[in-house]
Structure 1
Amino acid sequence: MLKKTLAAFGLLLLAAIAYLALWPVPVRPVVWSAPTDPGYTGAFAVNDHLAQLNMIDLGREEGPEHIVIGPDGKLYTTVLSGNILRMNPEGSAQEAFVNTGGRVLGFDFDSAGNLIAADAIKGLLSISPSKQITVLTNQVDGQPIRYADGVVVARGSGTMYFTDASTRFAPAEWGGTFEASVLDILEQSATGRVLAYDPATKATRVVARGLAFANGIALSADEKSLFVAETGKYRVWKIGIDASNLDVGADAANPQAVVLLDNLPGYPDNLMRGLDGKIWVGLVKPRNPTIDKLADKPFLRSVTMRLPRSLWPVPKAYGHVVAFSEDGKVLASMQDATGAYPETTAVTETRDRLYVQSLHAKGLGWLKR
C-alpha cells in the first residue's frame, strides 16, 4: 500500500513539474536588466500628501483613467465601461457623453473642438461635439495598431502624437487592457511605439519604437519634443518629434531620444501637462522586489504564468503622483501608502483643483490646489 501511495505521489509530482516547466503560455520572456530600486528616498521620500482625497461620486462607473477639461469648460473622463463622461468641474450634471464601443485610455481636444481619443480596441478616434465617431487610423505601415494608449495634439501643427503600448498583446484578444499590459510587461519584448498622425495628409508614421509598454505622452512647451512613459522599465523618455522609426533600445546614444527620469520607484502611467511648466505622471503601482529579481530569469517568469493568479507577484496598492520639469527635476511627490485611491495614473491640474486619475477607483478624487 505504501509503495502504491509513493508511486502515485511521484507521478503527481512529475506531472506538476512537467506542467510548471512545459505548459504553453502566451509570453516569451526575454532577459533584461532591472536597475536597483532606490526606494522611497530623496525626492520620493514617503509622505501622506495624497491621503484624504475629496471624492466626486461617479455612480456605477469606475476607473476615471484620464481627465481633461474640454474647450466647453466641462470635465471629461474615461471610465471602465467604455463611456466618456462629461460633467461640470465640481462633478454636477454628469452624463455619458459617448461610448466608443471600446476602451478609451487617453484623449485630447483638437483646435476644432473634436475629442481625439486613443482607444485601446478601436485605434485613434475623432469624436465631434455632436458625438459623431470617426476612426482616424488603426494601422501603420500596413500593420494594425493593437493597443492605442495615450495621445496629445500639437496646437501648432495639429499633428496627433500617440502611443501604441504593445504590438504583441492587444486588449481585444487578451481579456482587456490590464491583462494585456501584464503580459507585455512580464515578457519585456519592448514592442511599444510612438506614432504620429497628420490630419492634413491622413498619414500615420512611426516616431520611435523599442519601448517596454509605451504609455503616457505629453508635448514640450515649444512642441519640439515628446515626453513618453515607458511603464515596463520605470522611466520617462524625451524624444524629438522629428525622429523617424527610431529604435530607442538599440540606439541609446541617439540625441533624439534621452531618458529624462530613470529608475522610478513605481510604474509610470499617464503624462499630463500642468500649470507653471509642470508635467504630472502617476506611478500606477510601486515596484516589487520579486519582479526585479526575475528580470534576468525568463524561464522563471514563464513559470509564474502557470501559477494561480493569486500567487503572482502583483505589487501592492500605493497611491503616488509626481510632478517634474522639462529638464527632469522632480517638483512634487504626493503619496498615500494605504493605496485607498487605487492605481493613480496622473493628475489633471487646474487653477482650483488637482484631479487624480485612477484605473479602478469608484469615484474621482481631487484636492484643492
Structure 2
Amino acid sequence: MAKMRWGRLGGALGIVVLAGAAYLAWWPVPITPVAWTAPAAPGYQGVHAPNQRLAGLRMIDLKGEVGPEHIALGRDGRLYAAVLSGNILRMNPDGSDQQVFANTGGRVLGFDFDAAGHLIAADAVKGLLSIAPDGKVSLLTDQVAAGDPIRYADGVVVAKNGKMYLSDASTRFAPKDWGGTFEASVLDILEQASTGRVLEYDPATRTTRVVARGISFANGVALSQDEKSLFVNETGKYRVWKIAVDANGLDIGGTPPGSQARVLFDNLPGYPDNLMRGQDGRIWLGFAKPRGAAIDNMAGKPWLRSLTLRLPRVLWPIPKPYGHVIAFTDDGKVVADLQDPAGAYPETTAITETADRLYVQSLHAKGLGWLPKDALKAP
C-alpha cells in the first residue's frame, strides 16, 4: 500500500516536473530574440574609475511624486520636472512653491522649450506634445505616417530653426500596451531587434520624418553646438551615436552608415539613458543601470532570453543599482565622471546643470537629488 502511494506521488511529481519544463521551453513570450555579440564589459577604469562624487546627494521633497525623469530650467527661472504620475511639476530652484504645471495623462520622459516658451514633451504614451505657458496640452504628432505610429516617444530637443528631434525608443513595444516604460524597455532590450529610431518633426509643415533607424532602444537626444549633428543614446548596445541632422531614413543597424553617422562612444560601462546639454560645452549623460554579466552572456543565446521572460520577475537578471553620470564635449572627450557605487539614488538618468547646481534625473527616485556646482571641481 505504501509503495503504491509513493508510486502515485512520484508519478505526480514527474508530471509537475515535465509540465514545468514544458512551460520554460514552450510558453509563448512577446519577444522574438535576435542574436548579437556583446563586447566584453570594460568595467570601471580609466576616466570611469570608481569614485564617490555622486554620493550624499541633497534632496528636494517632491511631496509624494516619484521619478523626476527629466528636469529643465524654464525662461521664467522656475524648475520643471516630469514625474511618473503624468504631472509636470513647476517649482523654484530650491524646491519651494511646488505646483502642478500640467498633466498629460501619460508619462513624459523628455522635454525642451521652443522659442515661444511652449514646453515640448516626448510622452511615452501620448506622442509629441506641446504645452502652452498656461498649461494647455496639445498633440503635435503621434505618427510618422498613416499606419506608422510613434510607439515610445522618449527624448526630444528643439533646434533654433524650430524643428524638433525625438527618439522613438521602440517600434515594437509601446509602454501603454506592456505595463509601462520600464517593462516595455526590458522587452525591447532583451529582444535586440533594433527597431528604435530618431524622428524630426517640422512644426512649419506639420510633417514627421525618420532621420535614422535600426537603433537598439533609441533614448536620449541632444544637438551639437552647431546644430548640424544629433547625439543619440543607443541604450541596448551601450553606445552613443553622432548622426547628421539632415540624414534621411539612415539605417545604422544595417550596412555601415557612412559619413552621416558614427559611434562616438562604444562599449560603455552601463546603459546610457538621457542626454542633457549643460554649460561650457558639456553634454551630460546618465546611466540607468550598470552592465550585467548575465545579460551580456545571453547576447548570443536568444533561447535563453526567451526562457528568462518565463521566470518570475524577481528572477530577471536586472543589474544592481549604481549611480553614474558623465559629461562629455561634442568631440567625444569625457570631462566629468560622478559615481555612487552604493546606488542610493535609483537610475541616475542624467544631470540638469544650472549656474549653481547639478540636479540628478531619475526614473524612480522619491525625491529630487542635487549637488552644488562645486562637485565639478572635486578631484
Q: So what's the TM-score if we normalise by structure 2?
A: 0.96
Match of 2:10 in 1: 6
- In the alignment, the residues of structure 2 paired with residue 325 and residue 85 of structure 1 have an alpha-carbon distance, to the nearest angstrom, of 30
Equivalent residue for 1:150, pick from 144, 147, 155: 155
What is the identity, as a one-letter code, of the residue corresponding to 1:148? A
- In the alignment, the residues of structure 1 paired with residue 199 and residue 363 of structure 2 have an alpha-carbon distance, to the nearest angstrom, of 23
TM-superposed deviation, 1:147? 0.4
Q: Deviations over 1:274-329 (max 9, x none)?
A: 11111100001001000000000000100000001111111001100011111111
Match of 1:189 in 2: 193
After the TM superposition, which residues 197-346 of structure 1 pair with which residues of structure 2 at under 5 Å, given as runs? 197-346=201-350
What is the identity, as a one-letter code, of the residue corresponding to 1:113? G
Match of 1:141 in 2: 145
What is the identity, as a one-letter code, of the residue corresponding to 2:59? M
Q: How many residues align?
A: 368
What is the identity, as a one-letter code, of the residue corresponding to 1:145? I
Match of 2:96 in 1: 92
What is the identity, as a one-letter code, of the residue corresponding to 1:175? G
- In the alignment, the residues of structure 2 paired with residue 62 and residue 124 of structure 1 have an alpha-carbon distance, to the nearest angstrom, of 22
TM-superposed deviation, 1:179? 0.7
Match of 1:130 in 2: 134
What is the identity, as a one-letter code, of the residue corresponding to 1:137? T
Runs of 5+ unmatched residues, structure 1: none
Q: What is the SS of the residue equivalent to 2:259?
A: coil
- In the alignment, the residues of structure 2 paired with residue 82 and residue 254 of structure 1 have an alpha-carbon distance, to the nearest angstrom, of 40
Match of 2:165 in 1: 161
- In the alignment, the residues of structure 1 paired with residue 65 and residue 54 of structure 2 have an alpha-carbon distance, to the nearest angstrom, of 22
What is the identity, as a one-letter code, of the residue corresponding to 2:248? S
- In the alignment, the residues of structure 2 paired with residue 198 and residue 127 of structure 1 have an alpha-carbon distance, to the nearest angstrom, of 17
Equivalent residue for 1:104, pick from 67, 86, 108: 108
Match of 1:26 in 2: 30
TM-superposed deviation, 1:141? 2.5
- In the alignment, the residues of structure 2 paired with residue 91 and residue 141 of structure 1 have an alpha-carbon distance, to the nearest angstrom, of 41
- Identity, in percent, stands at 69
Q: So what's the TM-score if we normalise by structure 1?
A: 0.99
- In the alignment, the residues of structure 2 paired with residue 150 and residue 318 of structure 1 have an alpha-carbon distance, to the nearest angstrom, of 22
Match of 1:367 in 2: 371
Q: Deviations over 1:202-232 (max 9, x none)?
A: 0100000000100000000000000000111
- In the alignment, the residues of structure 1 paired with residue 255 and residue 72 of structure 2 have an alpha-carbon distance, to the nearest angstrom, of 34
- In the alignment, the residues of structure 2 paired with residue 66 and residue 38 of structure 1 have an alpha-carbon distance, to the nearest angstrom, of 28
Q: Deviation above 4 Å: which 4+ runs of structure 1?
A: none
